[in-house]
Amino acid sequence: MNTSPKSAMTFVATLSVLFLSCEGVPMARAQDTVPGAAIAPPPSTVVKNKSPIELTTLEVKLPPARESTLPNGAQVFIIEDHRTPLVTISVSVRAGSLFETADKRGISELVASSLTEGTKSYTADQISELTDKYGASFGVGTSEERITVSLRCLAENMAELVPILAEMVYEPVFPEDRVLRVRAREQASATSRQTDPNILAGDAIRAALYGSETPYGRPSVTSDQLGLITVADLKMFHEKQFRPDTAIIGVAGDVNGKDMLGLLTTALGKRDTSAEPAPSLPPVTLVPQSEMGTSVSPAPVIINRPGSAQSVLSFGVPGIKRDDPDYFALLLANRILGGGFNSRLNQKLREEKGYTYGARSSFFAPKWIGTWGASASVRNAVTGDAARDFLSEFTKLQTTPPKEGELDLIKQSLIGNFALTLESPEAVLARSIERYEYNLPADYWSTYASRVRNVAPDDIARVARKYLGVAGNPDSASKPRVWAVAVGEKAAIEEDVIKAFAIPPTP
């Protein structure tokens, strides 16, 4: 299956700064000046043994997408960019794994993988011949919520290729011989995942946070589960989930907006929408940290993986939705904790202790309550010590805010990286769709830099206490309450990991 990334890289038409790099820290320099006017130096700060960083607020202006709605309810976003003759078109529908029933696990991935295997008017071989002829490419990607089908081609070939894209989305035929081949491939991948320690740890953390019987906490699909899915099942799932009124169509590249809208209306706008209500996301039930009282962290889960020379340690706590006011404070807190090479976790476990090649943390804020977690692969002999160091860093984040200069460096890096990712029309398109999907304010991206800069050092400690602390009290630090999983040789690691949780961590 061809896989396209969930979020394409994007382009900024108007940037008011030029990014430079010095010692790995992106630097901003003001460029918008009046001819003949004197250029005043921007305010800056100096940190010993560090490059100077500019504190001038970076202004990032994304060109507005042309937004429309097709007659059948599909939302359309178009970004015109005529610098190259290429066009990227994507159609995303609400048909991800969260909409699978318990007895049809894996059906979303199988449907997605089979969309390029033949449509009402084109066989898989004909699709392949046409993509070779025009130098085009089709791709399919999946996520928890959506399946996305994409086309990348020369603008001059859109009229021939967009109808194929439309049939892949709305009129696949799921030929049995090819579906069986796809299913066998997916079953082999599922079998491999069942022994991957990182997959096992991730499954266990999600089960602990969401419940193993809920759509958000179910374990990875197995080969046996995939084997139960038939062609008839794929057709039923497709008919139910591939609805125009949940579709988001994105176009970026060398197009005329008005002409492109006409082509999309002809190819994708005539598909009828079911009279049944569109599916909504399943509800999430989590125990809020504020209701956990003062009890200690749950006992760590130890998963036996015989013969492992290393262990995978994974930690997690309930997080937030994307529209939560704590979003930017948590974004920076995660960056400090384990979101980069110079993060506290990596410096402690890799550089100081030599336990691992890399320790990291991740922050996931979707439409539902996401997670904040951390992980590392370590040697068996130091698994308990590494677990204790993780807990210590969770406590330290609650009690030791970053220094002002340290936080400024991290902010400038985050802002700089954000701007540098906006270097293609596909990226501006992705940001426009993201703003729509999460119902973010119209000025969200243009004020991104100022929102990052407004996070104070005390905000970092506050959100650490709120989400990592036992009591979930933003005003009072406490021992960390986290769900933990260790995957490895159980006999070699269990005792040390349990002891690590029995001893109160010190920052």
In a domain, 107, yes or no: yes
- Of 368, 367, 280, 364, the closest CA to residue 94 belongs to 280
Which one-letter amino acid corresponds to residue 127?
I
Residue 422 is predicted with a pLDDT of 83
Domain extent, residue 419, equals 289-502
198 and 301 inside one domain: no
Which one-letter amino acid corresponds to residue 269?
G
In a domain, 489, yes or no: yes
pLDDT in tens, 407-450: 999 999 999 888 887 888 999 999 999 999 999 999 999 999 99
Q: How many CB atoms neighbour CB 71 within 10 A?
A: 12
352 and 239 inside one domain: no
106 and 196 inside one domain: yes
- The SS3 assignment for 128 reads helix
pLDDT in tens, 309-367: 999 999 999 999 999 999 999 999 999 999 989 999 999 999 999 999 999 999 999 99
In a domain, 21, yes or no: no
249 and 323 inside one domain: no
Local confidence band at 296 (pLDDT 50, 70, 90 cut-offs): low
Local confidence band at 51 (pLDDT 50, 70, 90 cut-offs): very low
Residue 18 is predicted with a pLDDT of 26
Residue 248 is predicted with a pLDDT of 98
Residue 299 is predicted with a pLDDT of 86
In a domain, 61, yes or no: no
362 and 228 inside one domain: no
CATH code, domain with 440: 3.30.830.10
CB 87 within 8 A of CB 158: yes
- The SS3 assignment for 302 reads strand
Residue 60 is predicted with a pLDDT of 67
233 and 299 inside one domain: no
- Of 89, 471, 43, the closest CA to residue 290 belongs to 471
SS (H, E, C) 353-388: CCCCCCEEEEEECCCCCCEEEEEEEEEHHHHHHHHH
User: pLDDT > 70: what percent of the chain?
Assistant: 85
Residue ending a domain, choose from 268, 299, 314: 268
Residue 39 is predicted with a pLDDT of 35
In a domain, 399, yes or no: yes
Residue ending a domain, choose from 268, 297, 323: 268
Residue 471 is predicted with a pLDDT of 80
Question: Poorest-confidence range of 29-38, 242-251, 381-390, 472-481?
Answer: 29-38
370 and 259 inside one domain: no
Residue ending a domain, choose from 223, 238, 268: 268
pLDDT in tens, 225-282: 999 999 999 999 999 999 999 999 999 999 999 999 999 999 999 888 877 888 899 9
In a domain, 10, yes or no: no
385 and 237 inside one domain: no
Q: Please state, in angstroms and rounded to a whole number, the distance separating the CA atoms of residues 386 and 357.
A: 13
Q: Please state, in angstroms and rounded to a whole number, the distance separating the CA atoms of residues 116 and 110.
A: 11
Q: Please state, in angstroms and rounded to a whole number, the distance separating the CA atoms of residues 280 and 173.
A: 26
In a domain, 126, yes or no: yes
In a domain, 284, yes or no: no
86 and 196 inside one domain: yes
112 and 172 inside one domain: yes
pLDDT in tens, 131-150: 999 999 999 999 999 999 99
Which residues touch 132 (CB under 8 Å, ≥6 apart)?
none
257 and 316 inside one domain: no
Is the alpha carbon torsion for 220, 222, 223, 229 positive or negative?
negative
Q: Please state, in angstroms and rounded to a whole number, the distance separating the CA atoms of residues 65 and 105.
A: 37
Which residues touch 331 (CB under 8 Å, ≥6 apart)?
363, 414, 452
Q: What's the mean per-residue pLDDT of the chain?
A: 87
322 and 389 inside one domain: yes
DSSP string, 86-106: EEEEEEEES-SGGG--GGGTT
Q: What is the pTM of this model?
A: 0.84
Find how far residue 317's CA is from the centre of its chain: 17
Count up the domains in the chain and report the number. 2
Tell me whether residue 506 is exposed, middle or buried, using C-beta atoms within 10 angstroms of its C-beta: 0 to 12, 13 to 18, 19 or more.
exposed
Q: Please state, in angstroms and rounded to a whole number, the distance separating the CA atoms of residues 490 and 487.
A: 8
